[in-house]
Amino acid sequence: RSAKFIARKQWVVAGADDMFIRVYNYNTMDKVKVFEAHTDYIRCVAVHPTLPYVLSSSDDMLIKLWDWEKGWICTQIFEGHSHYVMQVTFNPKDTNTFASASLDRTIKV
């Protein structure tokens, strides 16, 4: 459902309807990591431009922050939406913040 390149690692990261995030080396297509990330469909993944972070959003109404330098552990969970979280993106002007859009008709920063 959602995939992004992580060029500095030569990876592609993908989130799917089976609730798993998969990471592949895009040169060899070898699996780097596969893990269950959410309890419902993953709608979006976003890659931090400089830090080793990936955000994921899901129909479970959560946004999770993953750190690949720590073995892809979830370092933070963000709650607050009351419906599916369809999009998440890092702020290009302030990469310490991100925005999310939900079917609850809100955008949160």
For residue 102, give the CATH number of its domain: 2.130.10.10
Confidence of residue 15 (pLDDT cuts 50, 70, 90): very high
What tens digit of pLDDT does each residue of 76-107 get?
A: 999 999 999 999 999 999 999 999 999 999 99
Range of the domain at 84: 2-108
- The pTM of this model reads 0.96
Number of domains observed in the structure of the chain: 1
Closest C-alpha among 40, 48, 39 to residue 13: 48
Q: State the DSSP string of 4-32.
A: EEEGGGTEEEEE-TTSEEEEEETTT--EE
